[in-house]
């Protein structure tokens, strides 16, 4: 059992394992070398040889406690036959979709389209580098995927004006998403993923009154599904502010927090294991500041089951040596 699983399952407080969101990616020169030759991001995610190699790159450099598969939450819309492109300096751009076609899509066709992701997880979970470490699979939460599918790009600051006009259609899409996210989760677990993280990247955009319909209710069946497969589930409803209510209602095994919440307050209110929190911009400062901030989180959670992580993904301009220093700081604590 990996240290991360011990923290989640056994509620160990003497271990402080570390992995980092986007630990495989643009800040690593070895990743940039591969990316130069592979400009189509989706094709890169669907090349199991390269995506598994990218997944393992940070484990070759740093003493991390988990590998998280190099993939993207938009694999689900892609598997649902919505066109997905990643445009430089813009981000994801999605095409139109037909609701009737979505309703008719068969499981086998979805699985066939995203199958290289599962093959990559299998390669990673059987690699010598992940021995005694956790292999993490992930999905986007229904709300966040709904946002991308309808908005057709990152909402950043606001949604389309008519986003909530037809609630019936939104609920239909959410039901289809639930079905295929479950399929995506099951295949990742069958391929070797030992933990699933659910990213609800745009949860913070919603008003409190909209959270039950769009965040809580669509996520609950996914959490229950992962648990039914005897695999721990981490939820990251970024920007949600009221993490306590989320935990009480959705009941994840672990809650991942962002950098805008006070870790002291979160710890007072939440009993389950906690992950993350530190602002990724701290890695752009200096060693002294980085050590101080990392220790602040470690001190707050010293008597609580805690997995060290950031409150969002590592930034592309991060110096890998700063990442190395962070990992060593956590390990030496």
pLDDT at 259: 97
pLDDT at 156: 78
pLDDT at 157: 61
Domain count, the chain: 1
pLDDT by position in tens, the chain (length 333): 999 999 999 999 999 999 999 999 999 999 999 999 999 999 999 999 999 999 999 999 999 999 999 999 999 999 999 999 999 888 899 999 999 999 999 999 999 999 999 999 999 999 999 999 999 999 999 999 999 999 998 887 677 778 888 889 999 999 999 999 999 999 999 999 999 999 999 999 999 999 999 999 999 999 999 999 999 999 999 999 899 999 999 999 999 999 999 999 999 999 999 999 999 999 999 999 999 999 999 999 999 999 999 999 999 999 999 999 999 999 999
Tell me the Cα Rg of the chain. 19
Looking up residue 196, the CATH number of its domain turns out to be: 3.20.20.210
Using CA atoms, how far apart are residues 52 and 305, in angstroms rounded to an integer?
29
pLDDT at 321: 98
- Structural domain range at position 218: 3-332
Q: Model pTM?
A: 0.97
Tell me which residue of 301, 295, 261 sits closest to 277, measured CA to CA: 261
pLDDT at 88: 84
Point out the residues that are catalytic: 22, 26, 35, 72, 148
């Amino acid at each position: 059992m990996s240290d991360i699983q011990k923290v989640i399952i056994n509620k160990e407080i003497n271990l402080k394992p570390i992995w980092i969101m986007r630990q495989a990616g643009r800040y690593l020169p070895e990743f940039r070398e591969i990316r130069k030759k592979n400009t189509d991001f989706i094709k890169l995610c669907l090349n199991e040889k390269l995506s598994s190699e990218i997944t393992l790159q940070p484990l070759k450099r740093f003493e991390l406690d988990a590998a998280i598969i190099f993939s993207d939450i938009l694999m689900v819309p892609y598997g649902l036959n919505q066109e997905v492109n990643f445009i430089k300096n813009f981000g994801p751009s999605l095409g139109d979709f037909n609701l009737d076609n979505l309703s008719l899509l068969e499981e086998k066709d979805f699985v066939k389209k995203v199958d290289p992701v599962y093959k990559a997880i299998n390669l990673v979970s059987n690699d010598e580098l992940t021995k005694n470490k956790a292999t993490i699979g992930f999905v986007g939460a229904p709300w966040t995927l709904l946002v991308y599918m309808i908005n057709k790009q990152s909402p950043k600051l606001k949604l389309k004006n008519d986003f909530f006009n037809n609630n019936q259609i939104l609920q239909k899409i959410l039901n289809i998403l639930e079905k295929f996210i479950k399929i995506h989760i099951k295949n990742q677990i069958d391929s070797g993923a030992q933990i699933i993280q659910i990213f609800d990247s745009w949860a913070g955009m919603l008003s409190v009154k909209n959270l039950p319909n769009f965040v809580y209710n669509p996520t609950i069946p996914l959490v229950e599904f992962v648990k039914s497969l005897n695999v721990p589930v981490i939820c990251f409803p970024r920007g949600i502010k009221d993490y306590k209510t989320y935990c009480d209602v959705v009941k994840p095994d672990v809650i991942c927090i962002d950098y805008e919440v006070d870790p002291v307050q979160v710890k007072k209110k939440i009993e389950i294991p906690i992950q993350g929190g530190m602002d990724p911009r701290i890695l752009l400062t200096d060693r002294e500041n980085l050590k101080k901030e990392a220790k602040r989180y470690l001190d707050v959670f010293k008597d609580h089951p805690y997995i060290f992580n950031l409150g969002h993904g590592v930034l592309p301009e991060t110096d890998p040596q700063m990442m190395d220093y962070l990992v060593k700081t956590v390990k030496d604590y």
